[in-house]
Amino acid sequence: MNLSSNRQFQTRQWWRSAVIYQVYPRSFFDSNGDGIGDLQGIIHKLDYIAALNVDAVWISPFYKSPMKDFGYDIEDYCAVDPIFGTIEDFKLLTKEAKKRGLKILIDQVWNHTSNLHPWFIESRSSRNNAKADWYVWADPKPDGTPPSNWLATFGGSAWTWDEQRQQYYLHNFLAEQPDLNWYNPEVKEAILAVAKFWLDLGVDGFRLDVVNFFLHDHTLQDNPSRPDNVPLPDGAGANDPFFSQLNLYNFCQPEIFSLLEDIRQLMDSYPETTTLAEISSAEDGILTASEYVRGSNRLHMAYNSSLMSDEPLSHEKMYQLITRVEKLFADGVICWTGGTHDFPRLKSRWRKFQIDDEFSHEAFDHMFAALLLSLRGSCCIYQGDELGLTQANVPYEKMQDPFGLAGYPSILGRDGSRTPIPWQKLAANAGFTQANEPWLPISEEHLHHAVDVQETFSNSLLNKYRRLIKWRKQQPALLWGNLTLLDTAEPLLGFIRKSEEQQILCLFNLSPVPLHYDLSTYPKCTAADEVDFQNRQYDSTVEIPGYGVFFGCLNEQH
């Protein structure tokens, strides 16, 4: 493929190296003073998102919903909930985003609906109605207990008895979120019609919620207990009873791949659209994620929890992780993700380990941003991580998350990573809302990281993200190049990104102690980061400060 043809391919497959910004609408910006963020609020702040230089915006659910799980329990897939605005607001949002060169990805929750969805209301009405088989129904065991021992991720049994139908229905999450039966081809066609509705409105793709949960084992086998010597999946809480079992039969079934082909076929009929798959709770998240994007007839991108665990970010961890990704994602695309609305803030997860002073906190944040944006594949930034927000301490009386309320105090839930964005340090409610109070309280600590504070300092984390992402777009090696790990020792992580036009040496000090790296094997190594464009050449060694980064261009162009 010549260079011109390669450029055209890269434009069509923009998602292979996209930087995606996740917006959680409830907490982004409130435009109407009710304490809850909305679609007009996103429109008001599109210039802020565009200034980050990202390629796309992933918007969490804004559909009509009773809000038992804050929008992930959908009552109407094709309607906007009045809390967030109207369908006209969404059309305007899409239009305004495209003016700014931003693509729009929207959350699609296809594993389950709300129990108030008309499909479920009809399905539960009898055993012989037109939608009787649209959800997962099963008779009890002979002793009257649930059909299997499967657990719901939000606690308790994954089965709830329905008096009207005299059967159990499956719900991998809340009882108010019954699972759709994807083995029924009518369900598949109905969901693809939903996808087509939004694609026809001009969206650029979908983030697919818990896509590995779509299918269950037909025979409803019991899950075995987790042996003591079997580690928890990445991102799993140590006190979460859901992981007391090896979840072998309630999700991650091999029949899913034919469904993925049907989804990809639809997406391919809308050129340059994409899918981002969430792989959740899998025993091997990296392997599972790679399987969902393998080849050209499955999904486009997938992310998992490999960077969302409570472990130090060490050379050994990253080296092993990148090695596996490079092997398993030969043709598929991983979306590197350090945080989402479902996990504690990344800054709080990692700073409790080897970071012991505020300077190191800041340096670590800057280093991680550079690492995230240097790895091969796409990446996702969760709103507020570009500000360095910590996990908020939400008191029990203010908690909203059903997961946290059910598991309290062992499990604190997701409220702490979902608190509103602090736009202005000195404004009431940090400039998020004109209501008396927002739907979740804003941490006092977050005020010091407010947008208006960081915009005044060139070396703030916010401005670091802006420069890094802009610089990344100018580096062919980072966008399209391959990745070769270097045999560096702890705590230095190193790799080379190489494209037809360029080679970049990437070094990351994962400790607070300065170190030196010998550059004698790289003649004519020139500094090439987003700040240093002075063509400073290194002939021997480079000093990398604690939690520091070095980018070196190994040829003329940078």
Long-range pairs of 8-11 with CB within 8 A, sequence gap ≥ 24 = 10/479, 10/480
Give the whole-angstrom CA distance, residue 84 versus residue 100: 22
CA 75 to chain centre: 23
Question: Distance (Å, rounded) from C-alpha 440 to C-alpha 394?
Answer: 8
- Alpha carbons 532 and 549: distance in angstroms, whole number: 12
Instruction: Please state, in angstroms and rounded to a whole number, the distance separating the CA atoms of residues 370 and 465.
Output: 8
Q: Which residues are catalytic?
A: 209, 278
Buried b (16+ CB within 10 A) or exposed e, 104-121: bbbbbbbbbbbbbbebbe
Residue 96 CB-density burial (10 A; 0-12 exposed, 13-18 middle, 19+ buried):
middle
How deeply is 227 buried, as exposed, middle or buried, from its count of CB atoms within 10 A (0-12, 13-18, 19+)?
exposed
- Which of the 8 DSSP states describes residue 418? S
Question: Which has the closest alpha carbon to 43: 96, 105, 83, 84?
Answer: 96
- 378 and 303 in contact (C-beta within 8 Å)? no
Per the structure block, which two tokens stand in for 381? 């930034």
Distance CA 106, CA 205 (A): 7
Among 112, 520, 94, 22, smallest CA distance to 303 is for 22
| Cα–Cα distances in angstroms (integers) from residue 537 to residues 40, 192, 515, in the given order | 49, 55, 19
- Left, alpha or beta for 250 (phi > 0: left; psi -120 to 50: alpha)? alpha
DSSP annotation of 449: G
Burial degree of 310 (CB within 10 A; 0-12, 13-18, 19+) = middle
- Look at residue 504 and give its three-state secondary structure: strand
Half-sphere exposure of 408 (CA within 13 A, CB side): 14
The DSSP H or E segment spanning 549 is: strand 549-553
**Extended strands (E) in 329-481:** 333-337, 378-382
Residue 397 identity: E
The β-bridge partners of 518 are 541
Residue 305: name the closest of 271, 346, 274 by CA: 346
Residue of 165, 169, 209 lying closest to 191 (CA atoms): 209
Which of 290, 473, 286 minimizes the C-alpha distance to 374? 473
Q: Amino acid identity, residue 219?
A: T
